[in-house]
Each structure stands twice: as C-alpha cells, then as structure tokens.
Copies of this chain bind each other. A is one copy, B any other.
C-alpha cells in the first residue's frame, strides 16, 4: 500500500478538475479513462450534477451510480450492485471510482475499488463532517456483515481526498454533531492544544463559521493522516484512533445502528474517560469537562435504556480484540491515548454505567 496521498481542503468544487489532472498524470492513467461517481440517494440530488460537470472536463466518460441512503445499505449486496454496474460498462483497471458522500458511501466505494479486478484507483469527495475529518482518511474500506460493522473490508488508499466544506451547509444538524464526536475524539487522543482550541472556538463551531470550521477539519484530518502514515495497517499506533470505539460500537450495535456513529463514539469516549479517571489518569474536572464539551456540541452524554451487561457482551465481539482480549484505548492524559489490554469487565461496566441514562440517580 502506498502512503502518498493528495488532500485538498476548500469551499467549492472549482479546483477538482485541475487537481485530478495531476493525479492522473502521477498515476500514469490516460486522459481517456472513465470515472464512476458513487453517491447515495440523499447526496446525489444535491451534488452529483456539479461534480459530474467538473469531472467531465477530465474524463472521457463520467457515470453516476446511486445507492439508497442509510447504514443498512452498507452491505455486500450494495457492493455487488456496484460490481455489476462496472462489469456491464466494461470498466477496467485504468478507470476510477469517486465516492461522493458520507462514510457509508466512502467505505463501500473504497471496498468496491479495492476488490474490483483486484483493485482500481478511487478518490474521496466527502460531504459529511464525519467523512471529512475521519472516514475518508487512511484507506480503511469495508461493509457491515451480519450486524457487525466493517467486518468485511480492505485497506485501499484514495488517490485524492477533496474536501468541499461548503457541503456542510446542507448537512443535517445531528450529522454535524456526529462529526464533532470524531473531531473531539481526535483532539483528545493526540493533541492537547487542539482540544483547548476547540474549547476556545466553541461558538464559531456551533455557529458554522467557515473561518473556524475549515481549519478545524484540516487540523483533525492532519492528525489522523499523521498517525495513519506512520502505521497504515494498524499494527501499532493507529489503534489509538479507536478511542471510544469499543463501547461506541457496542452501543451502535445495541441501538441497531439507529444512533449516528459519531454520537456513539462520543458516548464511548465519555465511558473511556470514566475508566481513565478511575485509573487515576484523568482528574474529576477533566472527566466532566469532556462530558460538558460533548453536550455543548450537541452530542449525547447519556444513552437511555441501555442494558449494561448486554453492552459489555457486545464489546467482546468487537474487531479490536487481540487473541480474545480487548485492546481498550484509555486517556493517559488529555491529548495522550494508550492501548491497554488489561481493562477488566468491572471497569468496562463502570464506564458503561457512567453513560447509562437510567442509572444517573445512583451514579452521580
């Protein structure tokens, strides 16, 4: 897997053709090659035409394939429908895919690109905050299987990630909040200064001030990119990006994927912070500040009606196990995460109880 990765941040699609011409040249692809935009039924009506117009000046043909919106469509069957579309049009290794949308579209398009003819190039045009700061970066691609998130997938880096922050204007508020879950997570695990910056710029973020949002996206993306470049296949440091994900994924599964990913991650981060606090890594003030920041960004701080023991059981089937043991990401301090594999069930339960809305009475 190559690590070279082009990344552009802006507020429109204007520079897309010019950058793509460079990408094609670098990849040794002929100007006559084709591109298929994969979008979901929410994003396609908003941006597919604009993007298609931009791409048509670079590619000989620009196709569009639309998948019904929603995590429940992040399946092998959707990927099969992409394969069938490409096969029918005789796409070959010199053609490309473009993922236009959020994490679901990015992960699925990336997986289709990783496996169609054993790998064809693709680019990411993320249109949700979560995709812009997290899921489009680092080459993790995949689909859900049997109710397990991303159980089937591959590592396949996009040749370009083109962020048009202007697309956030059409993003539903709760999707924006979901993205903020990953922004916060990233700051907490790797960069104390950025975490402080987020606190100081809270008004600008909540008010969608582009002068705050764009640098925030760029900073979050660059932190993730740095970590991924040092550890592309998650043998070491990259696992830290899973802060909040062990319990977060369990909640996501418990909720039958009805709660947005970044919201579940935020709950997972709060639970992980609680465990870190109990181990003496974080102070009371730090723990509650993390929870307050989540609330301020429209993220949940309690999950109502969850069953602690069921959540615990669900953490066991998470991918982030190491020979039967959970590798749990803890905050050793604000801005510094570490993976530890000695977190006990009672510690996990204590973290889960801290975010269980039904248990507030006796917990606080």
Which residues of A come within 8 Å of B, CB atoms? 1, 30, 32-33, 76, 80, 83-84, 87, 90, 92-94, 114-119, 140-142, 145-146, 148, 150-155, 233, 316-317, 319, 321-324
Contact = CB atoms under 8 A, between A and B. Distances in A.
The count of identical subunits is 2
B321 A151 contact: no
B94 A322 contact: yes
Nearest to A95: B323
A92 B155 contact: no
Given A146-B83, A146-B87, A319 B92 contact: yes
Given A1-B1, A76-B80, A142-B118, A92 B151 contact: no
A164 to B, nearest CB: 28
A326 to B, nearest CB: 11
B117 A151 contact: yes
A284 to B, nearest CB: 36
A83 B143 CA distance: 12
Contact of A152 (B116, B148, B150, B233): B116
A116 B323 contact: no
Given A117-B319, A319-B92, A322-B94, A87 B151 contact: yes
Nearest to A116: B152
B118 A148 contact: no
A276 to B, nearest CB: 25
Contact of A118 (B30, B83, B154, B324): B154
A323 B153 contact: no
A92 B145 contact: no
A1 B118 CA distance: 13
A232 to B, nearest CB: 11
A118 B150 contact: yes
Looking at A76, A118, A321, which has the most chain B CB atoms within 10 Å of its CB? A118
Contacts of A148: 87
B115 A155 contact: no
Nearest to A150: B118
> Which 3 residue pairs across A and B have the least CB separation, nearest first?
A118-B153, A94-B323, A92-B321
